[in-house]
């Protein structure tokens, strides 16, 4: 459905400005984390950042590609959920907390096992009455894939999800980012990923090396060389197909809200899965005219962005229905 509730300020009716502005100019000072390291069965670890207010419900936040828990969109959402007395748990994907992970394995769009580990651990130690997932970009696709692909394994405590700027079809998202107009974003992503390869290649010389990395120009080349072979996929296309959330949207069993902006420079075509969402009453797709990629900037309103208000409205609505 078209969501006309988001009224972008006139100056922000541009997808690129919406995408870039928060990263450089938004500051969230009111959020403090307590970090905890979760040891995984395969010998690796995840760094979890808690922000508790003593709530009986928990929101688990998943960041985007080459992101981390201190990104403004993560901190802004943490501040918002705390304002309504919900606990927040923002988790860093493998290798994204400032320290390289131990294994050759890296994070990617299909690491639903890591999200499942975080969810189960949080429920085990917190005894929460309800848990909600909030995801951004890659974290949005990961959250939806988890809820659909593992619908029968998702703990009963998970009551819903709200995700923003979800690349539901990874092939179309890769094509969108490969456009010349998006070359700056691509260069930044590849430079950041290159630093991770360099940090780990001395420990895994048979799997990781950066020889000729400067010739990589897009995600197909990166995923063909690194993501696919390291994680058991035959090619970039195989990885994209198997880790896109779109084919699994019809299996989601909890109320899930997807908000994608029409002017998002990172998304195209099948990233707006209208037909799949129509076939599942549990999934709502809202398409805003403006918002860019993980933008949804709003001025004033105590610094709260529209996406944060929309997530709270969705989560609190679910809680109200349960209480009623």
pLDDT score, position 302: 84
What confidence score (pLDDT) does residue 134 get?
A: 98
What pLDDT score does 138 carry? 98
What are the structure tokens assigned to 218, written together? 């897009």
127 flagged as catalytic: no
| Rounded (5°) CA angle 208-212-216 | 90
How many angstroms separate the CA atoms of 255 and 281, rounded? 8
What is the C-alpha separation between 319 and 322, in angstroms, rounded? 5
Hey, what CATH topology would domain 2-177+248-323 get?
Answer: Rossmann fold (3.40.50)
CA distance 59 to 78: 8
> Looking at residue 37, what is its pLDDT?
98
Tens-digit pLDDT profile for residues 51-103: 999 999 999 999 999 999 999 999 999 999 999 999 999 999 999 999 999 99
Is residue 3 scored above 90 in pLDDT?
Answer: no
Active site residue 23: no
Contact between 155 and 256 (Cβ < 8 Å): no
Chain segment 206-244, per-residue pLDDT in tens: 899 999 999 999 999 999 999 999 999 999 999 999 999
Q: Read off the pLDDT band of 153 (50, 70, 90).
A: very high
Phi, psi values for residue 9, rounded to 5°: -55, 145
- Averaged pLDDT, 23-43: 96
Give the whole-number percent of the chain exceeding pLDDT 90: 94
Q: Is 293 one of the annotated active-site residues of the chain?
A: yes
Is residue 319 scored above 80 in pLDDT?
yes
Does 1 have pLDDT greater than 80? Answer: no
Q: Is 222 helix (H, G, I), strand (E, B) or coil?
A: helix
Task: Reply yes or no on whether the pLDDT at 2 is more than 80.
Answer: no
| pLDDT for residue 8 | 95
- Which of 244, 293, 307, 314 is the catalytic position? 293
Confidence of residue 4 (pLDDT cuts 50, 70, 90): confident
Catalytic residue among 169, 224, 264, 268: 264
When the pLDDT of each residue in the chain is averaged and rounded to a whole number, the result is: 96
DSSP state for residue 56 in the 8-state scheme: S
| 244-288 pLDDT tens trace | 999 999 999 999 999 999 999 999 999 999 999 999 999 999 999
Helix H or strand E encompassing 51: strand 45-51
Please state the pTM of the whole predicted model.
0.97
| pLDDT attached to residue 127 | 85
pLDDT per position as a tens digit, 91-107 = 999 999 999 999 999 99
Mean pLDDT of 10-35: 96
Average pLDDT over residues 191-196: 97
How many residues appear in the chain? Answer: 324
Query: Which residue of the set 137, 143, 245, 307 is catalytic?
Result: 137
What burial class does residue 94 get, using C-beta atoms within 10 Å of its C-beta: 0-12 exposed, 13-18 middle, 19+ buried? buried
- Whether residue 212 contacts residue 113, with contact meaning beta carbons closer than 8 Å, is answered with no
């Amino acid at each position: 459905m078209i969501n006309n509730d988001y009224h972008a300020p006139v100056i922000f009716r541009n997808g690129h400005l919406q995408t870039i502005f928060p990263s450089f100019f938004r500051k969230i000072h009111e959020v403090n984390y307590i970090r905890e390291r979760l040891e995984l069965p395969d010998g690796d670890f995840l760094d979890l950042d808690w922000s508790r207010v003593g709530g009986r419900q928990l929101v688990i936040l998943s960041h985007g590609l080459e992101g981390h828990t201190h990104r403004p969109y993560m901190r802004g959402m943490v501040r918002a959920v705390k304002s309504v007395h919900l606990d927040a748990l923002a988790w860093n994907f493998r290798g994204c907390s400032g320290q390289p992970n131990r294994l050759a394995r890296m994070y990617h769009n299909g690491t639903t096992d890591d999200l499942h580990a975080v969810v189960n651990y949080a429920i085990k130690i917190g005894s929460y009455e309800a848990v909600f997932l909030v995801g951004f970009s890659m974290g949005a696709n990961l959250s939806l894939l988890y809820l659909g692909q593992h619908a029968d394994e998702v703990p009963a405590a998970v009551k819903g999800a709200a995700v923003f700027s979800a690349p539901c079809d990874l092939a179309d998202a890769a094509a969108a980012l490969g456009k010349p107009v998006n070359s700056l974003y691509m260069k930044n992503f590849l430079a950041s990923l290159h630093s991770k390869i360099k940090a780990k290649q001395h420990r895994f010389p048979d799997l990781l090396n950066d020889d000729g990395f400067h010739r990589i120009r897009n995600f197909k080349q990166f995923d063909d060389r690194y993501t696919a072979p390291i994680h058991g996929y035959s090619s970039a296309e195989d990885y994209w197909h198997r880790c896109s959330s779109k084919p699994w949207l019809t299996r989601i069993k909890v109320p899930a809200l997807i908000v994608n902006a029409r002017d998002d420079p990172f998304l195209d075509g099948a990233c707006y899965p209208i037909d799949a969402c129509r076939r599942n009453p549990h999934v709502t797709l809202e398409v805003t005219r403006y918002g860019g990629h993980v933008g949804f900037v709003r001025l004033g309103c105590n610094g709260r962005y529209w996406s944060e208000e929309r997530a709270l409205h969705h989560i609190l609505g679910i809680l109200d229905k349960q209480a009623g």
